[in-house]
């Protein structure tokens, strides 16, 4: 991350020098939370629909205050995609693979005020092109039910990832024999 910031500073300060393209790409894509004017700002109820080629990463900025709730979704079409949400400090808060058949929810309650970074990345290794839609559905002051929604989305995403990786978690269930009497309650 420090190297990324140093390279970015060199590029900004020394624009008259010719730097290799790989340095520019590394500086733009590395590190989260940077306030880069070239990264679009996501707004409430606006959809972003873009093509996504193999290996590409598209970055967006989201401004959140402490205690503000964000609910967005990413819906890929014809491609495998992933999404990452990064705090203003650069810490990765959410990183998951998108669902294939339905929108993937992204929800967060801001713990610090600042500019968060959302990245949509292609998971394809072959030369493929697909599309995705990204939409912010809610910016609001967080309420108690938002915490439950976030917890439920996290558990569902973890289960989907286990299923995708072919791991079956099993919970032993106590079953009654087929002819056993149903439990009774005392009145």
Q: Residue 71 pLDDT > 60, yes or no?
A: yes
Q: What is the CB neighbour count within 10 angstroms for residue 137?
A: 15
How many domains are contained in the chain? 2
Residue 90 lies in a domain: yes
Instruction: Judge if 5 and 44 occupy the same domain.
Output: no
Q: Residue 135 pLDDT > 90, yes or no?
A: yes
Instruction: Judge if 20 and 36 occupy the same domain.
Output: no
Instruction: Judge if 159 and 111 occupy the same domain.
Output: yes
pLDDT at 41: 93
Instruction: Write out pLDDT tens, residues 16-27.
Output: 322 222 222 222
Instruction: Judge if 132 and 114 occupy the same domain.
Output: yes
Q: What is the CB neighbour count within 10 angstroms for residue 26?
A: 15
Q: Residue 15 pLDDT > 50, yes or no?
A: no
Please check whether residue 57 is in contact with residue 117, taking contact to mean a CB–CB distance below 8 angstroms.
Answer: no
Helix (H, G, I), strand (E, B) or coil at 73: strand
Instruction: Judge if 75 and 10 occupy the same domain.
Output: no
Residues spanned by the domain of 8: 1-30
Phi, psi of 23 (to 5 degrees): -65, -40
Instruction: Judge if 88 and 39 occupy the same domain.
Output: yes
Residue 61 lies in a domain: yes
CATH code for position 67? 2.60.120.380
Angle subtended at Cα 41 by Cα 14 and Cα 92, rounded to the nearest 5 degrees:
80
Instruction: Judge if 20 and 77 occupy the same domain.
Output: no
Instruction: Judge if 67 and 149 occupy the same domain.
Output: yes
Instruction: Judge if 26 and 37 occupy the same domain.
Output: no
Instruction: Write out pLDDT tens, residues 151-175.
Output: 999 899 888 888 877 765 555 555 5
**Mean model confidence pLDDT for the chain:** 77
Instruction: Judge if 80 and 17 occupy the same domain.
Output: no
Q: Residue with structure tokens 């998108």? A: 98
Strand partners, 135: 47, 73
Residue 178 lies in a domain: no
Instruction: Judge if 17 and 74 occupy the same domain.
Output: no
């Amino acid at each position: 991350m420090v190297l990324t910031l140093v390279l970015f500073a060199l590029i900004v300060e020394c624009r008259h020098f010719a730097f290799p393209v790989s340095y520019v790409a590394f500086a733009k894509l590395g590190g989260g939370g940077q306030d880069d004017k070239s990264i679009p700002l996501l707004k409430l109820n606006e959809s972003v629909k873009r093509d996504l080629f193999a290996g590409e990463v598209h970055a967006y900025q989201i401004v959140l205050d402490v205690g503000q709730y964000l609910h967005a979704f990413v819906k890929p079409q014809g491609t495998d995609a992933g999404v990452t949400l990064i705090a203003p400090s650069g810490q990765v808060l959410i990183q998951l693979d998108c669902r294939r058949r339905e929108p993937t929810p992204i929800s967060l309650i801001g713990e610090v005020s600042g500019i968060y970074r959302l990245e949509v990345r292609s998971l394809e290794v072959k030369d493929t092109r697909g599309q995705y839609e990204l939409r912010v559905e809610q910016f609001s002051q967080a309420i108690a039910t938002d915490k439950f929604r976030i917890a439920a989305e996290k558990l569902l995403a973890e289960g989907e990832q286990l299923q995708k990786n072919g791991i079956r978690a099993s919970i032993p269930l106590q079953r009654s024999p087929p002819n056993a009497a149903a439990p009774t309650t005392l009145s």
